[in-house]
Chain A
Amino acid sequence: MQAVKDIAESDEAIMLNFQQGDPFALEILVRRHADALLGFLVRMCRDRSQAEDLFQETFLRVQSRAHQFKPGRRFKSWLYAIAAHLAVDHQRRSRWRSWFSLDDAPMQNMSDHRPDPSQAAASEDRKRQVRAALDRLPARQKATLVLAYFEDLTYPEVAATMGCSVGTVKTQVSRALHTLAGLLPDPAAGGAS
């Protein structure tokens, strides 16, 4: 019955139930968005444990600010707005640390499938370089890019999430990509540019 309810009800309806006191509603929302939200936060943070901390804090804020959720608003946008705000804030606060370790912080438990050790090592190395490039972006640009590129949100959805206009989103993404073009490793050279 619970499973049927999970499928049938929209996020917004479940959020409404939560506002009205349904003790199970939050758990349904947590389970429904767990993987995607954690994926977003992992891309935003430098390590998984930080991402998990932010994941938990995101849902605690969903709970404490449930009364601010307005009917008609898309829950996913609201959820990611909270998460993005936390991630951006976190990145800004910990920026000083990143100056000392720009190309470290290998992601834990990110990949368990390693067919060939040397290939896997090269892939991990490339991944670290890509991540380091992404981490160099200003926090807000990074959040905007991750939402648009990795979470497959449309530009209007990103705008709703980040609380800005579509034009601003496009400007942020454009600047982020232009910066990344100089930071990402050259795939032909097989090393950092």
Chain B
Amino acid sequence: MSEHFNDRQLIDTLFELNAADDRARVESHLAGCPACRRRADALRARFDQLSLLREDVAASETIIAGTVRAARLRRFKPREDRKESPWASPTPGLPRAAMFCESRAEWQAPQRTPPRRWRPVAAFALVLLVLAVVPLALREEKPAQRARQDAPASAPATPEAEVAAMDMDADEAGMIGVSEPMQVAALAKDEAPRFREEKESMNAADIEDLATGRAAGDKVAAPAEAGALALADAKGGELAFAARETPRPVSLHGLAAGSRKAASSMLPRAVPFDLPKADGSWTADAVRIDVLNREGRTAIAATNPSADWIAVLLIYHAGTNATLSKTVVMPPVSATNLTFDLQEGGWR
């Protein structure tokens, strides 16, 4: 009988960590050595206890949705140095949606962090600027204060502040957001999204109500409160839902108190769209996007009059977790040519 093997050699053999010939040598020894076999069996039984930790772990919908939402929020976080609304068109007369082209790069490619070597220089310049400006500002403090008192309330500086302000406004006014009809997006004909029909979520009456705006309790936001949404064709023919605030997240209006922030955070803040033609007409089918409140959920209807379809994207919310869960496409209905009149506050 050859010399006994130690624990390390036995463990390496049990888990196939040693070379094949070493393993064969140990196994051959185990066949004829009861003492080593007992020790190997004891080690195996000890390691079998690790399987107690092998039980399945299920990730909850909360953590999944939260992760996706956090990723979207981080990905579409607006540039800090952009003060005016990114929807604002740089060229008078050009539809504001043209700005989507600028946003497209943000949508398409994850951003690399730029080098930050300029920051110390910028900080130093800022200090100099403050030192130069503060004395001047102190001298003109009184006129400035008067101007602030006379001026209307300005928009919050950050998205978070906008969200908070929006919550407050919506709570006070009980308003429901409806997108401006002029905020349209283009879908190329050859990229027309393929739809699946999932009618279990809404019945025909719901759709009719949605399209005509007749649903009980639906109210209309003032134009200044209106947001804009758009429909884009994502990869693989799936519909991509996108929204952007003008100046605030439109989705906030449609959701019950407490879930607005969650719903807002899941909305991407940059959208890929095609440019209109030089004469201002759209290169493809235009879609009109409407948002209506439907008893605790937000329904977003995208209407394409020329193609006779209505896509309804629903955002459900449960507790504080809002989820974009369904893409419901309904057959053409008679209401496709309706437009929403912001001045009259109704459909015509």
Contacts and interface: CB of A to CB of B under 8 A. Distances in A.
Interface of A: 1-2, 5, 17, 19-27, 30-31, 34-35, 37-39, 42-43, 52, 55-56, 59-60, 63-67, 110-111, 123, 126-127, 130-131, 134, 149-150, 170, 173-174, 177-178, 180-181, 184-188
Contacts of B7: 178, 181
8 smallest CB-CB distances across A and B, nearest first, come from A21-B108, A34-B59, A39-B57, A22-B235, A38-B59, A66-B110, A170-B17, A56-B67
Given A24-B235, A42-B57, A52-B63, 9 more contacts: A25-B235, A30-B64, A35-B57, A55-B59, A63-B71, A134-B50, A178-B7, A178-B11, A187-B49
B45 A187 contact: yes
A20 B8 CA distance: 49
B210 to A, nearest CB: 23
Contacts of B272: 21
How would you classify the secondary structure of chain A's contact residues: helix, strand, loop or mixed?
Answer: helix
A59 B235 CA distance: 21
B63 A34 contact: yes
10 contacts: A22-B236, A24-B238, A30-B68, A63-B75, A64-B110, A110-B57, A131-B53, A174-B17, A178-B8, A187-B48
Interface residues of B, number: 48
Contacts of A126: 49, 52
B70 interface: yes
B107 interface: yes
A166 to B, nearest CB: 10
B30 interface: no
Interface string B28-55: 0000000000000011011111101111
A155 to B, nearest CB: 8
Contacts of A170: 17
Contact of B52 (A20, A59, A64, A130): A130
Given A23-B240, A30-B64, A150 B54 contact: yes
Contacts of A123: 52
Interface string B302-337: 000000000000000000000000000000000000
B237 A1 contact: yes
Contacts of A39: 56-57
A23 B268 contact: yes
Contacts of B15: 173-174, 177
A181 B113 CA distance: 46
B234 interface: yes
Contacts of A131: 53
A184 B42 CA distance: 12
B131 interface: no
- The CB with the most chain A CB atoms within 10 A, among B45, B108, B235, B237, is that of B235
Given A111-B55, A173-B15, A31 B64 contact: yes
A88 to B, nearest CB: 18
A37 B67 CA distance: 13
Contacts of A186: 46
A65 B75 CA distance: 12
- The CB with the most chain A CB atoms within 10 A, among B53, B58, B66, B272, is that of B53
Contacts of B46: 180-181, 184-187
Contacts of A149: 50
Interface string B267-278: 010001000000
